[in-house]
Amino acid sequence: METMRSDLAGCPVIIGGGLAGLMTALRLAPQPVILLAKVPLAEGAASAWAQGGIAAAVGEDDRPSLHAADTLVAGDGLSDPAVASRIAAAAPGAIIELERHGVVFDRDQAGRLALGLEAAHARRRIVHVAGDGTGAAIMRALVATVQATPSITLIEGLEARRLLVDDRGVAGVLAAGPFDACLLPSRRVVLATGGLGGLYAHTTNPLGAIGQGLALAARAGAALADMEFVQFHPTALAVGLDPMPLVSEAVRGEGAVLIDETGARFMEGKGRAELEPRDVVSRAVAAHIGAGHRVFLDARRSLGADFARHFPGIAARCRASGIDPAIQPIPVRPAVHYHMGGVAVDGEGRSTVEGLWACGEAAATGLHGANRLASNSLLEAVVAAGFVADSIAGTSAVSLPAPRPVALPAAPEANALRAFVSEALGVVRARAGLEAAVARLEPLAFRGGAAADPALVALLIATAALTREESRGGHWRSDFPHPSPGWARRLVQRVDDTGTHLVCRAVALPNASQSVAIGA
């Protein structure tokens, strides 16, 4: 096992090479940092796959307060209003910051930022690049800037496997590459490890997104919050690809309808039909599939021959699978898309463990509550990375004794759990399935072995989902199908001091007096 170069000892270690990790490193420059990414930059990052764009109140008719209000409505009573206001207020500045790093956002003929409209946003405020190429363009620009920044020591192909902790908090990171292991002593570690869709059999996330940072944090004693809130996208392309490509909501926005193998529209007459919110459409599609049907998105009448002009990327992905959406219905099913929960952090991105920060999808800042507003996650990654960097900039390196050798845990492997996790912790949950999930996952999570970390993350979801006896946002219980005012609380969990059980408690919402009414 190797230790780090002595000139880098003690400098902040950022785990994760997506938008959150890169922005933290850039914000800290010229302070030296180590940036770890388990696969080459951008390859394993959901950030590079983002299509729609990044939300910011930059339109003439828009204000950050309106953006924050939309965020709170989507969060279904569990978002922290102070966090929503602060992040919405920082959004226009985040766009300028990305432009400074070389991102060229789409503009209209008058030179103003071109603004898209997405579901549940009251104004046009989605800033984008090359139509649906936003994430890839942002990552290209930031990767180039990071590579040209001498203060950032970038180590690709190194996977964080454990956080070292002592009685003063975080003491370093134990990481492993393809051939050997490495100890990185540091009192300042940032988790920017992204989401957890790869724990599920059906996901739009990179398959390496298995919530590893959440397991690292939990085993280090940190609190995690909102773990039960998983966002499913109702229309992922169901052609046997893993992960599943997205068929964007915009296709339904253009009039495409959901049908089954008989050609029947099963959402007609239900509220706004196919234009209901993501969680409602996901449940309807899942229920229809559960009843033995196959589900398709039919754009033949609404778009027909114009499909490829409107949605060139989706058309290309369909055609690669032998489907011509102009003349054929597109097979779809719900898939995990985003995780609202994560490492519980304060306004500086600090976890409950001294020296451990988190940002991006791995963190639970209180912005998303029970459900994420579209295009708020890229925004949160940029803005919260700034909070973390400012907080770390106020600290200084502490010299550490050489860390004691630690056994290297096995590389995490989620495959054996994916089908089970999808079944028990999917779009529709119920007591029996959740109890069975807890019973199966708990021994796996604390026994060690390749399934341990994925099982621990799934156990955190299962325990919170079992505890929350109501339906709200991304969490739907068939045995408690309504929101309950008594549940306007956050569930916070941590591994107990024996390291063998979870403790789960409901806490009052911060800034609760300003919370919107449930279901508003």
Could you give the CA distance from residue 161 to residue 113 in angstroms, rounded to a whole number? 42
50 part of the interface to ligand FAD, by CB under 6 A: yes
**For residue 56, what are the CA distances in angstroms to 73, 100, 104, 133, 380?**
17, 16, 15, 17, 11
71 part of the interface to ligand FAD, by CB under 6 A: no
- As measured in angstroms, the least distance from the Cβ of 405 to ligand FAD is 20
Between 202 and 288, whose beta carbon lies closer to ligand FAD?
202
- As measured in angstroms, the least distance from the Cβ of 385 to ligand FAD is 8
74 part of the interface to ligand FAD, by CB under 6 A: no
Could you give the CA distance from residue 62 to residue 240 in angstroms, rounded to a whole number? 41
Could you give the CA distance from residue 270 to residue 496 in angstroms, rounded to a whole number? 45
10, 12, 21, 77: which one binds ligand FAD (CB under 6 A): 21
- As measured in angstroms, the least distance from the Cβ of 430 to ligand FAD is 27
Q: How many other CB atoms are there within 10 angstroms of residue 8's CB atom?
A: 17
Could you give the CA distance from residue 25 to residue 412 in angstroms, rounded to a whole number? 26
Listing DSSP states for 115-145 in one string gives EE--TT-SS--EE-STTT-HHHHHHHHHHHH
Residue 458 C-alpha from the chain's centroid: 15
- As measured in angstroms, the least distance from the Cβ of 338 to ligand FAD is 5
Sequence-ordered alpha helix ranges (H) in 274-424: 278-290, 307-310, 312-320, 376-393, 418-424
- As measured in angstroms, the least distance from the Cβ of 39 to ligand FAD is 5
What is the x/- site pattern for ligand FAD, positions 86-125, by CB under 6 A?
Answer: ----------------------------------------
Between helices 81-100 and 64-74, what is the axis angle to 10°? Answer: 120
377 part of the interface to ligand FAD, by CB under 6 A: yes
Q: Two tokens at 70?
A: 């939309």
Helix or strand holding residue 182 (H, E): strand 181-185
Q: Across the strands, what pairs with 203?
A: 336
Q: Which of 252, 278, 350, 468 is catalytic?
A: 278
360 part of the interface to ligand FAD, by CB under 6 A: yes
Q: Which stretch binds ligand FAD (CB under 6 A): 192-200, 249-257, 280-288, 433-441?
A: 192-200
The number of residues making up the chain comes to 520
Between 19 and 189, whose beta carbon lies closer to ligand FAD?
19
369 part of the interface to ligand FAD, by CB under 6 A: no
- For this structure, is 278 an active site residue? yes
- As measured in angstroms, the least distance from the Cβ of 142 to ligand FAD is 10
Q: Which stretch binds ligand FAD (CB under 6 A): 1-9, 201-209, 304-312, 428-436?
A: 201-209
Could you give the CA distance from residue 123 to residue 61 in angstroms, rounded to a whole number? 8
Could you give the CA distance from residue 264 to residue 259 in angstroms, rounded to a whole number? 5
- As measured in angstroms, the least distance from the Cβ of 17 to ligand FAD is 4
16, 81, 426, 454: which one binds ligand FAD (CB under 6 A): 16
Q: Which stretch binds ligand FAD (CB under 6 A): 10-18, 391-399, 440-448, 495-503?
A: 10-18
Q: Two tokens at 35?
A: 């940036």
205 part of the interface to ligand FAD, by CB under 6 A: yes
Could you give the CA distance from residue 455 to residue 163 in angstroms, rounded to a whole number? 18
381, 388, 427, 460: which one binds ligand FAD (CB under 6 A): 381
199 part of the interface to ligand FAD, by CB under 6 A: no
- Annotated active-site positions, please? 278
Residues contributing to the site for ligand FAD (CB under 6 A)? 15-21, 36-39, 44-47, 49-54, 134-135, 159-160, 192-195, 204-205, 208-209, 212-213, 246, 338, 360-362, 375-378, 381
